[in-house]
Structure 1
Amino acid sequence: MYNEAQKHKRVNAMKIGFRTIKTAVGVSISVLLAQMLQLEYYSSAGILTLLCIQKSRKQSVHAVVSRMFACLAGLAASTVLFQLMGYHPYAFLVYLLLFIPLCVRLRIQEGIASSSVIVMHVYMHRAADFAFFANELFVIAIGLGVALLVNWYMPSIDKELYRCKEEVDRLISAILHEIALYLKEGITLWDGKELLLLGDVLQQAKRLVLLDMENNGFRKSNSYEQNFERKRKQYEILERMLPAISLINAKIDQGIRIGDFVEQLSLHLQNRDCKDEFSEVLRGIREYHKKLPLPESRSEFENRANLYAVANELERFVDTM
């Protein structure tokens, strides 16, 4: 079993992702185009493309814009500075001390590495002439332009979003089932792992929704965002509910009734048409509890109080369906 796990881990480590493929293709196209145009420092176009491949279209556009301004600013600033101070290594010290704070202030600090590639060309060329500037502009245009075009295609993550949605529903149903079992039987061997997993899956879903929105706007992400927001609220309600449930230390009729309700809730969680029916059943349970005689012991009083708190949370849970 250990060997199989290690083998599976190595296979995952060697798996080539779509972003890796896009990076390889983009860099190759950039170098090819720059070389075909017989540009000097043509390999730098590939470096610029490499630095601009991002996770989403929005991030890609931001990366290209910030790097474009940084490259142009670096080209101009380094040319002036090297002409004034000479083409000496210490000129880099002055340049970086001035240029890095400027990029940070202009919020284009992501482009510092990219612009440094162009600055190195200025230093090696050791002259300011039109042909050199034209060459650098072509290198920048090819490197950033290819990155933007290649990164514009983003694979659909609908399957991942749907899997997250299914897993979230499964975990919530499992948690509700365990709660119902405890209320009806008074005992449980549940270790609570589903609650921890639910938090992790909701975090993953949030990242996927954000990524999908950056790629497609609100084309379909809005519905996923609303769904996972409802599930996030249900998760928070379950977290608040569990401490009160854990304090119920006796099997009583009220608990059994609420347990039956929670069991039905777990079975029909995805059916939002049952929302009104669930609300009506819960109101019926509350009315039944109001008609019961006063508790005869402190233990019974505490159990009823905790059940009352659970019923309050269940009302909020049903409202989020």
Structure 2
Amino acid sequence: MSLSLRTIKLIFATVLAVYLATALGLSYATSAGIIAILSILDTRKSSFKMARNRFYSTLLALTVATATFSLLSFEIWTLSIYLAIYAPLAYRFRWEAGIAPATVLVTHLMLETNLSPAFLGNELALFLIGAGSALISNIYMPSQDQQIQAYHVQVEDLLKQILLRFEAFLLQGDGRNEAELINQLDQTLEEALKVVYLDRHNQVFHRTNYQVHYFEMRATQSKILRTMAKTINKCFLESRENIILASLFERTAQQLSRENSAQDLLLDIELFHAMFRERPLPQTREEFETRATLFQLLHDMEHFIQLKVDFYQVYKENEEPSA
């Protein structure tokens, strides 16, 4: 949430809360505005969760305060006993976020020396109006769809560049910049995941894990590519296997889009395994080491492709639009 949007929401929620509390004739109406300010968070989900926990915490605080003040007196030292009972319970139930606003409401009871149902209702109403105003202000959240779609394009373009660079290395020995591209890919994926995590937390009533799982799948693929980048540097000899594996890199690069199942690539992997087995045995140690390296690359590519196939199988009927 941008600073300007957060500021607008704070102003709206605070003014609305104070206005409603005043219109209803509640005592300490400005406290509703304070509660509204404390309840503005970055996502709808976190706001709802916080409001729920603070509501429970407020009920607990008013209950403990009523018992404490009625049995003892409306003194400062009694407030310490209230806190000694209430605070540990709030932490025990993980409602500690409500300690501050709830205790503000409890101080009203002490100042007014009033435990009547009507005044307790006044304090509860202050909380409900403040938290409710914050929730209303958080109904609007800017859409992240356009930014997420842009990340899809960036990630798939970088994956394509990396795979084509691997192909070039096997065919021409030119793979000097693959680590730079992978670093760029990792940074893009980190940024994308921050956005999709935020977007998911803003979908309170209709949530989908599609985007999160998509970029997490790509992040796992990036780790495989980083391993492959280290392995591929060991391929110094030109061979028929180099050409075969290079063609797999090229075909995979052309089938990276998320609407592509990549199932055909697994069939290609099986064919390549068969072709490798039919090739003449290595004659020198260098040829043997190169063949072993190429087999490792083929195995890593199989894992890379299988991740995409598994993702597609899970989400092939997902409502998310293709990009």
TM-score scaled by structure 2?
0.83
Distance of 2:88 and 2:183 partners within structure 1: 43
User: Which residues of 2 match residues 120-199 of structure 1 at below 5 A?
Assistant: 120-190=107-177, 192-199=179-186
Instruction: Mark the CA change 1:196 to 1:98 in structure 2 (over 3 Å): closer, same or farther.
Output: farther
* Counterpart position of 1:18: 5
Structure 1, unaligned runs of 5 or more: 1-14
Change in CA separation of 1:271 and 1:97 when aligned onto 2, cut-off 3 Å: closer
Question: Which of 197-206 and 174-183 deviates more?
Answer: 197-206
Q: Higher helix proportion, which one?
A: 1
Aligned mates of 2:259, 2:137 — CA distance in 1: 41
Alignment of 1:40-51 (within 5 A): 40-51=27-38
- Closer/same/farther in 2, CA of residues 194 and 217 from structure 1, 3 Å limit: farther
Write the letter of the residue equivalent to 2:104.
V
2:278 corresponds in structure 1 to 291
> Is 1:269 aligned to residue 256 of structure 2?
yes
- Give CA deviations for 1:122-153 in whole Å, capped at 9, x if unaligned: 23223333443232132122112222222233
Once residues 19 and 228 of structure 2 are traced to their aligned partners in structure 1, the CA distance between those partners, rounded to angstroms, is 62
Stretch moving more, 296-305 or 68-77: 68-77
1:303: how far off? 1.0
Q: Which residue of 2 aligns with 1:62?
A: 49
2:138 aligns to what SS in structure 1?
A: helix
Instruction: Kindly state the Cα deviation for residue 67 of structure 1 after the two structures are TM-superposed.
Output: 0.9
Equivalent residue for 2:296? Answer: 309
For the residue of structure 1 that corresponds to 2:175, the secondary structure is coil
Q: Give 1:195 deviation, angstroms.
A: 2.2
State the match for 2:235 in structure 1: 248
Tell me the equivalent position of 1:11.
none
Unaligned runs of 5+ in 2: 309-323
CA distance in 1, matches of 2:35, 2:180: 45
* Mapped contact 1:67–1:111 kept (Cα < 8 A): yes
Q: Do 1:169 and 1:270's aligned partners in 2 also have CA atoms closer than 8 Å? A: yes
1:109 aligns with 2:101: no
How many Å separate the matches in 1 of 2:181 and 2:88?
48
| Alpha-carbon shift at residue 110 of structure 1 (Å) | 1.7
Mean alpha-carbon deviation: is it higher for 299-308 or for 191-200? 191-200
What is the number of equivalent residue pairs in this alignment?
A: 308
- Taking the aligned partners of 2:58 and 2:118, their CA distance within structure 1 comes to 17
Q: Give every structure 1 segment of 4 or more consecutive aligned residues whose post-TM-superposition deviation is greater than 6 Å.
A: none
For the aligned residue pairs, the C-alpha RMSD in angstroms reads 2.8
**TM-score when normalising by structure 1:** 0.83
* SS of residue paired to 1:293: coil
**1:306 positional shift:** 0.7
Structure 2: which amino acid aligns with 1:74? A
Name the CA distance, whole Å, in 2 between partners of 1:17 and 1:198.
Answer: 30
Distance (whole Å) between structure 1 residues aligned to residue 255 and residue 111 of structure 2: 70
- % identical aligned pairs: 29
Distance in 2 (CA, whole Å) between partners of 1:278 and 1:77 is 65
* Alpha-carbon separation, structure 2, partners of 1:299 and 1:217: 59
Amino acid of the residue matched to residue 102 of structure 1? Answer: L
- Closer, same or farther: CA 94–247 of 1 in aligned 2, 3 Å: farther
Q: What is the rounded CA distance, in whole Å, between the counterparts of 1:128 and 1:121 in structure 2? A: 10
Q: What is the rounded CA distance, in whole Å, between the counterparts of 1:31 and 1:46 in structure 2? A: 5
TM-fit CA distance, 1:30: 0.6
Indicate how the Cα distance of structure 1 residues 117 and 258 shifts in structure 2: closer, same or farther if over 3 A, else same: same
